[in-house]
């Protein structure tokens, strides 16, 4: 009987690892690009009196990538800001319901945000909107933001279905009874 119960957990774990690798790699590459861009820009300004054209625009777009790629990771790890001043006085069952409610609000809010962003990206693509200096198209970045919001919503939905101890007080940690 333990075999079927563990199969979904293995699948969940594989999905988590894949998501951590994809989002973590995307955020790390964008952060590394910001670091290298800053190094080259500052060095060029100090030594050659010439900065990298469009460095501010590139940094802004790369920061969007870092922030939105990190969003699913922060949610998965339970590292977001929480208000837990009342938790010591609430019974575990109430805290569990509260956690479910918060995750549900996150799912709905993030899916709504993803939907609105997808529409905005389509408008920007249709208008051919670009950045001011480098003329980079803005729509792909907004589409990416939308997709990563939807992925974060899926993370919260997963947490509702399979809560983990570090997310929801009152949920037993794996291996304890």
Q: What is the pLDDT of residues 96-147, one digit of tens each?
A: 888 899 999 999 999 999 999 999 999 999 999 999 999 999 999 999 999 9
Q: What is the pTM of this model?
A: 0.83
pLDDT for 3 beyond 50: no
User: Quick one: residue 129, left, alpha or beta (phi over 0 = left, psi -120 to 50 = alpha)?
Assistant: beta
Q: Contact 110/150 with Cβ under 8 angstroms?
A: yes
Residue 132 β-bridge partners: none
Any residues with CB less than 8 A from the CB of 38 and at least 6 apart, and which? 55, 59
């Amino acid at each position: 009987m333990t075999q079927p119960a563990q199969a979904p957990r293995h699948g969940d774990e594989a999905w988590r690892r894949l998501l951590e690798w994809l989002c973590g790699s995307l955020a790390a590459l964008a952060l590394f690009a910001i670091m290298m861009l800053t190094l080259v820009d500052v060095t060029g300004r100090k030594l050659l009196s010439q900065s990298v054209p469009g460095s501010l625009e590139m940094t802004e777009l790369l920061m969007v990538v870092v922030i939105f790629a990190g969003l699913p990771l922060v949610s998965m790890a339970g590292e977001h800001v929480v208000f837990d001043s009342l938790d010591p006085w609430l019974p575990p069952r109430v805290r569990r319901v509260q956690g479910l409610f918060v995750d549900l609000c996150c799912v709905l809010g993030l899916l709504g945000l993803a939907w609105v962003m997808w529409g905005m990206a389509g408008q920007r693509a249709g208008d051919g909107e670009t950045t001011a200096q480098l003329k980079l198209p803005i729509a792909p970045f907004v589409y990416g933001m939308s997709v990563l919001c939807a992925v974060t919503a899926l993370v919260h939905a997963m947490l509702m279905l399979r809560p983990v101890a570090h997310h929801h007080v009152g949920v037993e940690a794996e291996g304890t009874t």
